[in-house]
Amino acid sequence: MTDVSWDAPPNVRQDYNDTCWAAVMESFCAASPGRPKVTQDEIVEQFGKYCYSSTDGTMTRRGLHILFGDKRFGLKVMEVAPNAFSALLVSQKLGHGLVPIGYWERRISGWHVGLIYGISGGTVHYHNPDFSNGGRLTDPVSHFCPSGKGNLVLAWRAW
């Protein structure tokens, strides 16, 4: 297993209860060369129709594929079963740059989007845009894989 680390991305916090995905994409674009410099509000305006209700605070799985797959962002997208999400997989994807991830977040009891910028051993370093309990966090790989919660949506730089 290889440790991989990038500079921490800008600490962009979500402006609304349900815009973690927009904050992550603003942070990703700001930290990734060649990507458009977009604001959270611009992302919300374009992709907000894929968001669940504000009481859930997440985006649909289909919406994440559409958001991450927008050609302006230059990402490849895949779903990963929780039992296939590993430190080795994270290391491989981080070899291309920062890694946006959609996952079940225990702290909010719902689907959430974060931005992975490093891994050391089995510890993932990531940006969590939640305004109440987010920031630059570290958690074990297993944090992203609670059983029975479905696949993770993972994206990594294609160019």
b/e string for 54-63 if b means 16 or more Cβ within 10 A?
eeebbbbbeb
Residue 55 is encoded by which pair of tokens? 């009481």
> Which residue type occupies 103?
Y
pLDDT, tens digit only, all 159 positions of the chain:
579 999 999 999 998 878 999 999 999 999 999 999 999 999 999 998 887 655 455 778 888 999 999 999 999 999 999 999 999 999 999 999 999 999 988 877 778 999 999 999 999 999 999 988 889 999 999 999 877 788 999 999 998
Domains and CATH numbers, the chain: 4-157 (3.90.70.30)
